[in-house]
A and B are shown apart, each in its own frame.
Chain A
């Protein structure tokens, strides 16, 4: 049996040196023992050797070890190593596990270190009993650190330096040193101390110092703001939703004695049933009439069958439209936009994701394609009335995105109520329909886009109609060559439109 003495309960470096030396010497886990100085550890019954001297510099094995290593094949238990390294994953876990209060943590860590010799990937096998055990303890430690961030309660004191803040805290594991920098980052301009049974941390606005264990009476007993905090705690509790177990799962009873608000818990729990029953049983009261005259006006939805005499009025109608169910999942109705005296009206399919949010037609990617093409064709977009066959965005949610869905004939027909009014108000000379859905809305029948594009057609209202592809079609073409070709065709259509204006 070999014993290493560690300087403190959290002496990771000491353990690391000793464990390294043990492993280099081939001390099997069953033969290795770690004791903390002054932790009441008597020397073990089977201690035959003095504590392993921590090596200075540590890493290279002594020369005589090297000599022995050359003697023969590596044998388990009689093996000598030339110094070794372990994965960062192990060191990180070990640093956490050391802070755990369990007495056998050193042995567990040494067992892992020993096994890593033959199983270098061991730390990745999180289903292994020892690894799972170490990870569980590391998690407990990390949780204790998190709870310390949560449950420390500072109390204000005055001393010769002015105002200062002191907390008494009893962490589940030895996490004071580990967690103190969190408070340093959070409160760099306050002088604070956190006192615990394991040790203390002090911040003077410049330097973080660690100190010896403390006792509760060294911390102040009260703070006047605590009454406000308790008032808040009691008021933010909803008695109709009592879930004491959930509360205890997150705020273990071990912390309660140092949380000022926890003293209210029994009373709040006891009163909750009565409070809820009273609320449920109390008949509705008469409305308060004194404030009734201050009530905001009721929102009236614009009528869906509105016949508009101006474009703004038409916009209101589109906002309130319920002629088909598409309004439900859309943000808003997107009415057309442009001058009332526009000679050209461009009709797209429906607003897309961006248009739905912005409330304006053709502001997304397809809109940018259209804008560029119009400019190139010598058409000023500000002279054009741009709108869509369908005014609400039809889509399907897919995770954090919305996938565009083509409107069906029923939706197009329902929405013609608005498009026909737009055409009636604007009275354009030319109506350009982009794609099949727009074609259906403008011509009243589903056209064959590739066949019919580019043809000038007389419409019933006296305007000239023309059909071309939707700009999003150009965006979707995967082949660069096809895109250039199709864009040129689109440009031809636009130029023809310009000539007929």
Chain B
């Protein structure tokens, strides 16, 4: 095949990587390049250097090493039977691109994934080699996220954790049966075993209180995974159960939800439609409730209909409308856990309320200054000067607090 020029390759291999929803460059250990020979820093908090018109942030150079792949996963544009244009970067090309972009402050680092070529081991070796070159030859201290090839030798997974800030292996389909059908070369238990290995290694690398010697670092940014939504018929409740099980089992930092979106050269085994973006949004909200608000997956599922989250209202509001007997909550007295269940109050607002009420008894206008959405909060709280009366139990409460649906543009045909 003729050598295609580097910009063309970049275009092909960035395009091929864009279906991976992960973009974070946060949560790693804090470090900078003072005293070093190279460049790069992470300050714990991630930085998004640009946003594309799909609303997603560009934080890392997210590319594939190659989009050649010996797997035939129906949902993937890079599957072996796809007619998509193929390209492959050399290790050096990825290293140079990363450094060139980083120096100009375009990115926080590299997110490197790959189609599987030759074997899992060979592919993983190539990914590790890129990270190793960046770290050891160029003393690069920016963020590196490597995709795990679950089939690869556990030793390679270990090496990856040595150089990378974050590792991820995508579960892709919430239903294991569907994975067997749509990705016949993948084995869900191999993916889970790799995630289990990462969890054990991350825990090993956490310094024990008594030990003085620091264990070698291993993926300080933890691990994440992705579930594709809308390709296998799994309802939301099943997806959230799966996430809860992944968070608990492997200590994942994030589960990403990626609405299955049309791909060029699609397989005939999957229906093409515009991606259900609102559904994806509701799943992220529900996931947030599990991670920061003390909700369990079954609790969120209580308000679901036929296993599906309400698209018109967010899952916390849906839960509250379903459990009105829990409300109203007295913002001046209620425990933090209960305040976290009030629709419209976020973790930050709740923390502010808890802190302020040590000095002042809150009125409704005080709450208004601590939250962005008083209309949503009002029916569910009491303050010094406010009680919702019958509003909490009003039959039309849902209509009052639910945002009015945006008018749909009628088709011209």
Contact = CB atoms under 8 A, between A and B. Distances in A.
B81 A153 contact: no
B18 A296 contact: no
B394 interface: no
Interface string A273-299: 000100110101111110110111111
A14 interface: no
Contacts of B10: 228, 231-232, 235
Given A125-B356, A127-B367, A238-B19, A295 B100 contact: no
Interface in B1-57: 6-7, 10-12, 14-15, 17-19, 32-41, 43, 47-57
Contacts of A129: 369
Contacts of A328: 176
Given A126-B370, A154-B105, A296 B116 contact: yes
Contact of A280 (B7, B40, B274): B274
Contact of B37 (A189, A223, A233, A297): A189
Contacts of B61: 232
A251 B249 CA distance: 36
Contacts of A216: none
Contacts of B273: 280
A329 B189 CA distance: 10
Contacts of B362: 127
Nearest to B117: A294
A358 B201 CA distance: 11
B370 A189 contact: no
B62 interface: yes
B278 to A, nearest CB: 11
Contact of A332 (B180, B192, B200, B367): B192
Interface stretch (B124-132, B213-221, B256-264, B317-325): B256-264
A155 B184 contact: no
B251 interface: yes
B268 to A, nearest CB: 4
B103 interface: yes
Interface size class, chain A: 35 or more
B355 interface: yes
Given A246-B55, A288-B83, 20 more contacts: A125-B359, A126-B369, A151-B49, A153-B104, A156-B104, A188-B32, A225-B101, A228-B97, A232-B10, A232-B61, A233-B58, A235-B15, A236-B58, A243-B56, A276-B274, A289-B81, A295-B80, A299-B184, A331-B189, A400-B248
Interface of A: 121, 124-127, 129, 132, 146, 149-156, 165, 167, 182-183, 185-190, 223, 225-229, 231-247, 250-251, 259, 261-262, 265, 268-269, 272, 276, 279-280, 282, 284-289, 291-292, 294-299, 301, 319, 328-329, 331-332, 356-359, 395, 397-402
20 contacts: A126-B352, A146-B47, A150-B47, A153-B105, A228-B10, A229-B106, A231-B7, A232-B101, A235-B14, A251-B50, A269-B53, A282-B266, A288-B83, A291-B81, A299-B186, A356-B249, A395-B248, A397-B248, A399-B247, A402-B248
